[in-house]
Amino acid sequence: MNFSKKNQERINIIRYFASKKLHFMSFLVLLLFVSACTNDEIQQDGLQSVEANNQTKALTVAEINQQITKMYKDKGSFDWSEASDLLLWSAAVHGENILTVGYGNKDESFRTQKSNRLTSIKNEIIQTIKKSSSQKAKGDILIYEDNTLNLIDVKVTDLNSVIALRRNGNIRYIEPEGFVYSGEIIDQEKSSSGCDKSGDNISSSDFGHFSSSQTGHVPWNYYDHNINQAWAYSKGSGVGVGIIDTGVSSSQPNLGYKFDDYYGSRYISKHGTYVDSWKWWATNTDGPNDKCGHGTSTAATVGAPFNNSHQFIGVAYECNLVTYRGTSDVVLNGYHERKGVAKALTELGNRSDVKIISMSIGYPWSIGRIKDAVKYAYARGKMIFAAGGTSTSFTNWYGVIFPATMSETVAVTGVEEQSTYSECDVCHKGSEIDFTFIMERGNNNHQPVLGFYDGQSSYFGGSSVATAATAGIAALVWSRYPTWSRAQILQRLKESADFYPSKNSSFGYGNINALRAVRGY
């Protein structure tokens, strides 16, 4: 509707009746009526422009961080749906003007076939941006369209566009995907959070041997969970575990050509979905190889092979591994990291050889595209384990992180080796936690794992190792009962944990007894 044209038409009407010398009061009533209609017109058709003109200067990065931090501390969480139009638009401005728009009905996260209705909604979004900004070419607006998830990435330069989009009932969320938060909630001193490729001198008191005649090393905490005894019933054979992390080291042969030295039928399949570039338009991934160290440690925790060369063994050492380099580190705070993880989830969801997905990565609050991807993988029958959260040099004052906060994931955190439950020094806890895993001793030593380089070992801790190890226990159970459903496997894990049938408000069902889980008694 063209406000200027309609307004001029009403002015012409007033002039016409005035020329007819109407009674003054009649004329005044008519004038007031037209003015009222005109004001209504301004409030309805012109609201976007009026609101945008009130404040067209974007907030600074410091102001954005300050507002997010305050909202997080006040509520214990943050969601972009609760942010003002100005805050959302300002964050987009400081993030290459990129907005991720999830569309469709509530919880319509993905599609399994082409939908004319969804296509129409997508086109409507693009048209809305065209009408509310100086952007007129589709190529200047649409920068990415997902083939499975109901989301698009768009460039938005005008506050009016944000205002218009947020009034669209067919939009589920709008998030400034290119913006990187740099406030106190996330440790900014260590942008490569969780990364460490160095080895450690492992204390002889922190491991045992597979048997008296073999030299494969068994981490100390496996004995706390009776994993070593569970191996008499299951070793994870035939179960595929997908790991979304920073990839796997090309310098560790036990996660390479030596992965199947003993069994002849297991495999490790390595993939990369992360684009290591500051350019949002870049599309070339840098491969499956780990440059951080964290992904190598999680893969080793789940399924490092049986060996006779003084190397540490994974929980499910006969399982198959499908690894993804979906991110550069554990904090999902970059456009390509979020996009890479979502793509990895989608691809793993489509793999029939993968039953379990392990994610020792996350973010303090929800990320729309990853949330959509988790729901897709879950709908495809995958059991998804997610880390409850591990702080580095920043405090762990806040609770469980995303995506462990989702009902579709199994949330895990780490606890100390003691008679009473206590989270590890850097681990998060909360009501969303489902299970715990012992990974920290009184001397602060963590679980030893296969290292980044050949012949190297290292200590690995936090909710990261706890999550990967628990995913390994699930693989042991599913290998033992290959025809069981995801729900049956999860129920057996619950029944085998300390607090079952109750659930602790901070530690879920607690530590799992792996022997009981695979044996059933």
Are 159 and 20 within one domain? Answer: no
The pLDDT assigned to 453 comes to: 98
**58 Cβ contact partners less than 8 Å away, ≥ 6 residues apart:** 86, 89, 90, 93, 94
Are 253 and 164 within one domain? Answer: no
Number of domains in the chain: 3
Are 15 and 147 within one domain? Answer: no
Asked if 427 and 385 count as a contact pair (C-beta separation under 8 A), the reply is no
Residue 346 has pLDDT above 90, yes or no: yes
Are 334 and 446 within one domain? Answer: yes
The pLDDT assigned to 397 comes to: 61
Query: Would you tell me how many other CB atoms lie within 10 Å of the CB of residue 162?
Result: 26
How far apart CA 82 and CA 73 sit, in angstroms, is 14
Are 271 and 131 within one domain? Answer: no
**Residues shown for the chain:** 521
Residue 486 counted as domain residue: yes
The pLDDT assigned to 33 comes to: 34
Residue 215 counted as domain residue: no
Residue 323 counted as domain residue: yes
How far apart CA 342 and CA 294 sit, in angstroms, is 19
The pLDDT assigned to 392 comes to: 55
Residue 231 counted as domain residue: yes
Confidence grade of residue 468 (pLDDT, cut at 50, 70, 90): very high
CB burial readout 387-416, b (16+ within 10 A) else e: bbbbbeebebebbbbbbbbbebbbbbbbbb
Token pair belonging to 300: 């080793």
Q: What is the pLDDT of residues 475-518, one digit of tens each?
A: 999 999 999 999 999 999 999 999 999 999 999 999 999 999 99
Are 17 and 91 within one domain? Answer: no
Q: What is the pLDDT of residues 203-229, one digit of tens each?
A: 999 999 987 667 889 999 999 999 999
The pLDDT assigned to 70 comes to: 94
19-33, 193-207, 283-297, 327-341: which range is least confident on average?
A: 19-33
pLDDT, averaged across the chain: 88
Residue 98 belongs to what H/E stretch? strand 98-103
Range(s) of the domain holding residue 33: 3-45
How far apart CA 475 and CA 498 sit, in angstroms, is 19
Residue type, 310: H
Residue 56 has pLDDT above 90, yes or no: no
The pLDDT assigned to 270 comes to: 98
The pLDDT assigned to 79 comes to: 96
Are 502 and 362 within one domain? Answer: yes
Residue 201 counted as domain residue: no
Percent of the chain with pLDDT over 70: 86
Closest CA to 373 of 103, 149, 145: 149
**30 vs 397, more confident:** 397
Residue 209: beta bridge partners? 217
Are 270 and 396 within one domain? Answer: yes
Are 303 and 377 within one domain? Answer: yes
Q: What is the pLDDT of residues 9-28, one digit of tens each?
A: 444 443 443 443 333 333 33
Residue 48 has pLDDT above 90, yes or no: no
Residue 196 counted as domain residue: no
Percent of the chain with pLDDT over 90: 77
Asked if 455 and 202 count as a contact pair (C-beta separation under 8 A), the reply is no
Are 369 and 436 within one domain? Answer: yes
Confidence grade of residue 40 (pLDDT, cut at 50, 70, 90): very low
Tell me which of 175, 207, 236 is where a domain ends. 175
Are 263 and 396 within one domain? Answer: yes
Residue 84 counted as domain residue: yes
Are 125 and 239 within one domain? Answer: no
User: pTM of the full predicted structure?
Assistant: 0.88
Residue 183 counted as domain residue: no
